[in-house]
Amino acid sequence: MTEYPVAKIEDYGYKEHRFLKAAWKWVVNILFAGTILLLYLPSLVIALQSVNDTSDLSVFNKFDFSAYVNMFKDEAFANSVKNTFIVTLSSTLIATVFGTLIAVGINSLETKKRRHIILLNNIPVLNADIVTGISLMLIFSLFLRIFPYLFGLSTLILAHVFFTFPYVILSVLPKLRELDPNYMDAATDLGMKPYKALFKVIVPSIKSGIFSGMLLAFTISIDDFVVSYFTTGNGYDNLSIWIYGSIGRKSLNPAVSAFSTALTLLTLAILLAVNFLRLRKGKKNA
């Protein structure tokens, strides 16, 4: 039996460029490190500033944790935090409920109509915040003759619901498409009323999408500034508006740094807990 020599890649004109490979590896590592630095450097600066004994951002004297102890002693800051959570939690709850119901309705439409409705839903998502804020301000202004004290808590909640529920729809729709369309028919055929079938069959099957949409709505709402600035009333500031009114170019209220760092650590703890529960659930299912 005739044996033929095994062809090598060099026989086809390939040349190994070790220097180029090493250089490319260094470029990739530098780009990766730069990206991580740009993402987390602002949070690191705020964390360091929260334990700085001076409000000057360009000077670090010594560690001081009094900002955490006296965080809520500033009444204006405490009120802004309270207002932020009232607006964020209320709007997130309303947007999650309405967004989920609207997503179920969109999913039941014909393909052509569904595409048109999804396109309309994407407009608030892609629209500039300043355009959304001014538009909502003008709409709310039309009702001032009937409700002269309209601007405030109610307008903030309505505005936040308006620009967050499209994100809930976008999070829930993919989960609805994964469902067997016969689930609803099977539940109603077994004697279950449509609204009970919705809440006992459909909603539990798409709860991960609902939870993702709720978290997304909460995250977008809690740090919104532009829309809130145009739709709030006198004396009702959320945290972002209060920070805008109190911040200087080289100074920052210590309470803001401390609260921002605490909120970041809380978010990190929640993410770690969620990932831990997912891994634990995956091991049990395996």
Query: Distance between CA atoms of 17 and 38, rounded to whole angstroms?
Result: 32
The domains located in the chain, with CATH, are 77-249 (1.10.3720.10)
Cβ proximity of 242 and 83 under 8 Å: no
pLDDT per residue, tens digit, the chain (286 aa), is 566 666 565 555 555 566 677 788 888 999 999 998 888 888 888 888 888 877 666 677 778 788 888 888 888 888 888 999 999 999 999 999 999 999 988 888 888 888 888 898 888 888 888 999 999 999 999 888 888 888 888 899 999 999 999 999 999 998 888 887 777 778 777 777 877 888 888 888 888 889 889 989 998 998 889 999 999 887 788 888 888 877 755 556 777 888 888 888 888 888 888 788 878 877 776 6
The span from the CA of 246 to the CA of 5, in Å, is 78
C-alpha pair distances (Å), 205 with each of 37, 97, 168, 240: 39, 15, 16, 36
